Amino acid sequence: MILVLTRNVNKEQYIKTLLETLGYDVFCSVQLLDALLSNKKEMDLFDYFPVVVISETIFESEFEQAKSLLCEKGHIIVRKTNSVTGLQESKVDGVCEIPLAIGLEELRDTLDEMKAKESYEKKSVRESMVSLSMLEKKIVKQLYTAFPDKVSRDQLIQQLWGDDDTTKSRLSSLSNCVHSINQKMRAIQPSNEEKAVKTLWRKGYFLDDEVYSSIEEERLIIL
C-alpha cells in the first residue's frame, strides 16, 4: 500500500492512476498529514504504508517535519516536485524526488530501485549484529572500555570470575572465549582480515581498531 500525503486530494489523480496501474493500493489523505505533523495517535496507521509519497502541495517546512518523522519509522519516502525534470535522489536525506509529469515506466523503475535499496540496507543492518555469550560480552566490554590499551589476562579473569585466581581452567576458558569471539566477528565482517580480539603473548588482549570503531559508531551491535 502507498500513502500520498497532500493538501489537495484532487491534485493527486495523476500519480494515483499511475500507482494503481502498477498494482498498488493508493490512499490520498490530508487528515493523515495533519495527524503526522501533530504527532497524534493516528500515527499507528502509517505502519500500513511502507511507501509514502509527499505531494508538491505541502509547504517546505511541513515537508521537513514529515520527512524527519517518517525517516525515524523507516518509510520509503518519495517527493513530488516541479523543480526537477528527471529522476534524482537526495543522498543526504534518502528522499527520492520525482517530477510531476513522471511516466509510468520511470515511476515503476524508481519504486523498484528504492525497495531493493531498502531490502539491502535492512540486510546490512542484520549482518552487523553479533550474538555473544555472557562471558564473551564481558570480555568485549572490558577491551572496549580499555581501548586502545591492552587488558592483561589477570585483569580479565578478575572481571569475569570476581577474583584473581588464575587457574589453568580459567585461562583455558578465556582463550576459548576469545577464539569464539573472533570466529563470530569474522562471520559478519569477512572483509576485515584482522582478528577482532588480538593477543599480546603472555601480556593480554586488545580490541582491533575497526571493531572498536564499529561498536563506537553503532555499526556493530552486540546481542
Domain CATH for 203 = 1.10.10.10
Residues 82, 189, single domain; the answer is no
**Last residue of some domain: 127, 159, 190?**
127
Mean pLDDT score across all residues of the chain: 84
Query: For the ranges 41-45, 136-140, 142-146, 157-161, which has the lowest average pLDDT?
Result: 41-45
Q: What is the CATH number of the domain that holds 120?
A: 3.40.50.2300
215: enclosing H helix or E strand: helix 209-216
Say whether both 102 and 197 belong to one domain: no
Residue that finishes a domain, picked among 107, 127, 147: 127
Closest CA to 1 of 37, 56, 42, 47: 47
pTM: 0.54
Is the predicted pLDDT of residue 69 greater than 60, yes or no?
yes
Q: Does position 30 have pLDDT exceeding 80, yes or no?
A: yes
Q: How far is CA 124 from CA 54, 206, 220, in A?
A: 27, 26, 10
Q: Are residues 121 and 135 in the same domain?
A: no
Cα separation, 6 vs 58, in Å, equals 6
Segments forming the whole domain that contains residue 156 = 131-222
Do 10 and 113 fall into the same domain? yes
Does one domain contain both 121 and 150?
no
pLDDT tens by residue, 85-118: 445 544 446 688 899 999 999 999 888 887 776 6
Q: Which of 112, 127, 142 is the last residue of a domain?
A: 127
**Scanning the structure block, which residue is given the C-alpha cell 543492518?**
125
Domain match, 144 and 192 both: yes
- Which grid cell sits at 119? 531490502
How far is residue 104's CA from residue 41's CA, in Å, rounded to a whole number? 35
Query: What is the torsion angle, in degrees rounded to the nearest 10, for the CA atoms of residue 152, residue 154, residue 156 and residue 161?
Result: 180
Regarding whether 114 and 35 lie in a shared domain, the answer is yes
* Pairing outcome for strands 221-222 and 26-29: unpaired
Q: Are 118 and 146 in a shared domain? A: no
DSSP state of 163: S
Please indicate, yes or no, whether residues 97 and 203 belong to a single structural domain of this protein.
no
What percent of the chain is predicted at pLDDT more than 90?
39
* Domain shared by 105 and 135, yes or no: no
Cα 130–chain centre separation? 15
Residues 121 and 138 reside in one and the same domain: no
Do 59 and 147 have their domain in common? no
Q: Count up the domains in the chain and report the number.
A: 2
Cell numbers given for 18: 499511475
The DSSP result for 100-121, as a single string, is TT--HHHHHHHHHHHHHHHHHH
